[in-house]
Amino acid sequence: MNNLVVLYVEDMMKSRQFYQALLNCEPEECSASFASFKVNASLSVGLWLRRDVKPDVVAAAGALHEICVFVRDHPALDRQYEHCTEIGATIIQEPVEMDFGRTFSVCDPDGCRIRYATPV
């Protein structure tokens, strides 16, 4: 069994297509209101149709959180940036050096921030 991060989404089809392209894999589980994608041996990302979540979600989608994905080096970060650009991800921060390493950020269709970084 994997650890699972669940994101609440407004449009399942749009979000599923985004994560399928972003992660370059098919969902391991898929229904009209839920999909999950295996990220690695111990982590999956789940998408849950917001209107079906119980108890009801009161915060705005994508508010107040960020998923951070660490990559091993700058060339891997640059390849991921090119991939995100190719699939049409919304880039909210171009690659830049910050105090914790080189990084860039994108948003998914619901505004959830996904940061890619190389640790220093």
CA distance 117 to 25: 21
| Closest-CA residue to 48 (of 65, 24, 78, 27) | 27
* Spatial contact of 37 and 16, defined as CB atoms under 8 Å apart: no
pLDDT in tens, 1-59: 678 999 999 999 999 999 999 999 999 999 999 999 999 888 899 999 999 999 888 77
Strands 101-107 and 90-98: antiparallel
The residue extents of the domains of the chain are 1-52, 64-120
CATH number of the domain at 1-52, please? 3.30.720.120
Query: What angle is formed at CA 70 by the lines to CA 42 and CA 93, rounded to 5 degrees?
Result: 130
pLDDT classification of 64: cutoffs 50, 70, 90? low
64-120 folds as 3.30.720
Are the C-beta atoms of residues 114 and 107 closer than 8 Å to each other? yes
Please report the pLDDT score of residue 31 as a whole number: 95
